[in-house]
């Protein structure tokens, strides 16, 4: 196939420029994945050995999609490319080189739950206040240190870091970090951050290893370069130092992961790192309509720290962006749910064509309630991953013990599951014995009669012999046969089978699904190593994006904007556009933080293909109290030329419209002519736009504490109406008013400013 013929001029130039440092700035929806895959395919077509190509991504899903596309062009040679996430690729290298840094090749990879479990144990042993030393904060502090390549020893030598901990009342943080690192090492385990931290140690301290991989990888490509942290940046820079055939692809406008350690300066300074870099800009958006793309440009141009580009679309002009106002978060949910049903029917769409995006997970409640009332099916992304379910983690803990019996977190998890008479008291005895003799927990378990007595020795000894029996077949049978043997002999299958509750049945089915997955893995023809240990490594490196079991389900998608990056939907609702919510209150302390929030808004807008609606509420419950809200500054930053302000059903209020109206009139004729005239007919609407109401002279709001059904009232914007319902408690009372020409509206009385006509 002529794979180059389908590329535009900029895409093709980026694909064909294979030598030296290259930076591809890929705007939203500009065909980034196509360029990366075709560039790799082009290298192979030119005769480059696939084993000499390294491609780094941020999700296994992205790597899988790229490999499949490359296979379509070059065939099965694609399976020989070193392609995967940063963590999976460097875990692979660490398996080979682990002994250089004192780790076994079969080291365990701790997920977040494992790490936090170990930290809880350490906090308990140190008798620390777990409210002050919150495990999430402690874990985040350690993670941040590792991502900045600060070892436990360096952490405890750094006076500034120690002083900061002391000032926060957490003077033991350094000792916790040190103990945590020692326990991981003793257990032959690395956490996710270690996979990058230890790779840096490996490449820095062992020049022969660095030399090996610098010459192994002749060509290096990095996807989503704007999301790299300091640790990833250094690894990439070291590996590319000899050949300098490095190509990074990304979009500074979509850098939204600073809270994870991502450093936007990595992409902004790439041209300084490589002065002879060849720069390509992919500026044509193939995803969204002109209105959406142009509106997104009007947002992101407010940022100072950015690479200059002007994304454009040659698709139809499309619908203008709807801006809706609600009086509460619950009404906002109703507006969104009603709109989804209406557009689904009118446009002949499916539920899966719609997405609701929000800044924080807590906002999902009002949306869920509204969708449920209308029987609209939905799915919340970012929930519990299949591999994070208790029963799955229990069985996998047995698998981990078979290949690494020093894995203390796995041992503690299953030593008494299913129950076998080894309670907390016995486990404490094992820990005490291990500490007293300076040995590992497994050494005590596997020689129980030597360290324990009575029934404890018997029960623990039997558990140890069972694990040893599993180890005996671990490398002799297929992954599926080993897994099934462990599931049966451990007692887990029987335990779950005997639980006839709905939850028990679900857990049993999940175990069956896991075993089915291992069976499928055992029969794959595209991989050579099919042991259960290899399967576990793949599982340990999965992200939530990689474990969606039914991506084609016809449901409305709900997720945070961070979770939506990389996705696209025909119709998108972005909700909660209020000051201190979006932008977040935490982002208002510095320009850098505010610019990241603006990039997040840019990402939200550019998820939409055909239609986009932005909404906000004028009141929202927080911590049990109803608070008034102001519209987000981001609504003011959108160029009003691209907005449709619907006054009758959730549009911006009058006082918010004044600035936008003046902006719209001031929009220069020259700049307006840049954008094409509409190609599509205006959406039909049944809404009636009556003549604006002029308030009665001397209009003054009444005391509405005693408002009753049947009363005539006047609203400054909606005009005259009759009260048809009153509900709620004092301070949070709501009234439903039938307004002439507008229909019914529910108003929160503390904000509505109604004039009771009888008082006039």
Q: Which residues are catalytic?
A: 32-33, 223-224, 254, 607
Q: How far apart are CA 484 and CA 70, in angstroms?
A: 35
Q: How far apart are CA 273 and CA 253, in angstroms?
A: 20
Helix (H, G, I), strand (E, B) or coil at 571: strand
Q: How far apart are CA 101 and CA 73, in angstroms?
A: 40
In sequence order, what DSSP letters do the residues of 274-316 get, joined into one string? Answer: -TT-EEEEE-EESSS-HHHHHHHHHHHTT-SSS-----EE-S-
Q: How far apart are CA 141 and CA 135, in angstroms?
A: 10
Helix (H, G, I), strand (E, B) or coil at 596: helix
Q: How far apart are CA 396 and CA 540, in angstroms?
A: 10
Per-position b or e across 206-229, b if 16+ CB within 10 A of its CB:
eeebbeebbeebbbbbbbbbbbbb
Give 381-427 as a 3 state SS string.
CCCCCHHHCHHHHHHHHHHHHHHCCCCHHHHHHHCCCCCCCCCHHHH
- Give yes or no for a contact between 219 and 22, defined as CB atoms under 8 angstroms apart: no
Q: How far apart are CA 539 and CA 522, in angstroms?
A: 14
232 alpha-carbon distance from chain centroid:
18
Pair of tokens at residue 692: 């604006």
Q: How far apart are CA 45 and CA 390, in angstroms?
A: 47
Pair of tokens at residue 664: 């719209």
Pair of tokens at residue 671: 């700049």
Per-position b or e across 156-166, b if 16+ CB within 10 A of its CB:
eeeeebeeebe
Sequence-separated (6 or more) residues with CB below 8 Å from residue 111: 191, 192, 388, 540
């Amino acid at each position: 196939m002529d794979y180059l013929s389908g590329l535009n001029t900029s895409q093709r130039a980026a694909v064909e420029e294979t030598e030296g440092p290259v930076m591809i700035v890929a705007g939203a929806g500009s065909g980034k994945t196509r360029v990366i895959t075709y560039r790799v395919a082009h290298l192979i077509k030119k005769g480059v050995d696939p084993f000499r190509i390294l491609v780094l991504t941020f999700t296994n899903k992205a790597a899988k999609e790229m490999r499949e596309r490359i296979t379509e062009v070059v065939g099965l040679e694609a399976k020989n490319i070193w392609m995967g996430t940063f963590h999976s690729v460097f875990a692979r290298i660490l398996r080979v080189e682990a002994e250089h840094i004192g780790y076994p090749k079969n080291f365990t990879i701790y997920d977040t739950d494992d790490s936090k479990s170990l930290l809880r144990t350490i906090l308990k042993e140190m008798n620390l206040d777990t409210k002050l030393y919150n495990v999430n904060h402690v874990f985040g502090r350690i993670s941040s240190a590792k991502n900045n390549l600060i070892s436990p020893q360096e952490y405890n030598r750094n006076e500034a870091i120690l002083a900061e901990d002391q000032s926060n009342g957490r003077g033991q943080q350094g000792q916790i970090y040190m103990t945590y690192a020692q326990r991981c090492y003793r257990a032959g385990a690395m956490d996710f951050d270690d996979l990058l931290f230890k790779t840096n140690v490996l490449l820095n301290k062992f020049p022969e290893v660095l030399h090996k991989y610098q010459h192994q990888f002749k060509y290096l490509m990095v996807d989503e370069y704007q999301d790299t942290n300091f640790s990833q940046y250094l690894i990439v820079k070291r590996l590319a130092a000899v050949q300098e055939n490095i190509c990074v692809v990304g979009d500074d406008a979509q850098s939204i992961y600073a809270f994870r350690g991502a450093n936007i300066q990595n992409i902004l300074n790439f041209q300084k790192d490589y002065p002879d870099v060849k720069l390509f800009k992919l500026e044509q958006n193939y995803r969204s309509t002109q209105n959406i793309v142009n509106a997104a440009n009007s947002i992101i141009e407010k940022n100072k720290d950015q690479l200059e580009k002007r994304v454009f679309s040659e698709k139809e002009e499309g619908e203008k962006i709807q801006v809706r106002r609600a009086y509460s978060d619950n009404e906002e949910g109703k507006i969104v749910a009603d709109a989804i049903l209406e557009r689904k029917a009118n446009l002949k769409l499916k539920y899966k064509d719609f997405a609701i995006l929000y800044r924080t997970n807590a906002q999902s409640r009002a949306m869920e309630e509204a969708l449920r009332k209308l029987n609209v099916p939905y799915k919340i992304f970012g929930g519990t991953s299949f591999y994070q379910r208790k029963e799955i983690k229990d069985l996998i803990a047995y698998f981990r013990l078979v290949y690494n019996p020093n894995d203390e977190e796995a041992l503690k998890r299953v030593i008494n599951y299913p129950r076998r008479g080894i309670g907390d008291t016995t486990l404490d005895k094992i820990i005490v014995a291990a500490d007293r003799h300076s040995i590992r927990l497994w050494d005590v378990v596997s020689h129980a009669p030597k360290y324990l007595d009575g029934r404890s020795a018997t029960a623990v000894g039997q558990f140890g012999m069972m694990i040893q029996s599993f180890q005996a077949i671990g490398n002799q049978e297929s992954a599926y046969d080993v897994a099934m043997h462990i599931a049966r002999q451990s007692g887990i299958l029987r335990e779950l089978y005997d639980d006839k509750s709905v939850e028990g049945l679900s857990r049993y089915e999940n175990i069956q699904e896991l075993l089915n997955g291992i069976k499928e893995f055992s029969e794959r023809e595209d991989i050579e190593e099919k042991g259960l240990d290899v399967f576990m490594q793949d599982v340990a490196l999965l992200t939530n994006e990689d474990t969606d079991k039914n991506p084609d389900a016809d449901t409305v998608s709900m997720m945070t904007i961070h979770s939506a990056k990389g996705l696209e939907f025909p119709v998108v609702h972005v909700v909660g556009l209020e000051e201190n919510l979006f932008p977040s209150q935490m982002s208002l302390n510095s320009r850098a933080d505010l610019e990241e929030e603006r990039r997040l808004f840019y990402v939200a807008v550019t998820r939409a293909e055909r239609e986009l609606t932005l909404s906000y509420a004028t009141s929202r419950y927080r911590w049990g109290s109803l608070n008034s809200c102001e519209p987000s500054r981001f609504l003011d930053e959108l160029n009003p030329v691209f907005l449709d302000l619907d006054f009758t059903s959730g549009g911006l209020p009058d006082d918010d419209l004044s600035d936008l109206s003046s902006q719209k009139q001031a929009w220069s004729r020259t700049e307006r002519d840049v954008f094409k005239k509409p190609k599509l007919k205006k959406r039909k609407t049944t809404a009636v736009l009556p003549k604006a109401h002029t308030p009665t002279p001397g209009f003054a709001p009444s005391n509405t504490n005693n408002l009753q059904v049947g009363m005539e009232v006047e609203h400054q914007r909606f005009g005259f109406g009759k009260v048809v319902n009153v509900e709620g408690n004092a301070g949070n009372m709501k009234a439903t008013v039938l307004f002439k020409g507008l229909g019914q509206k529910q108003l929160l009385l503390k904000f509505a400013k109604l004039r009771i006509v009888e008082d006039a």
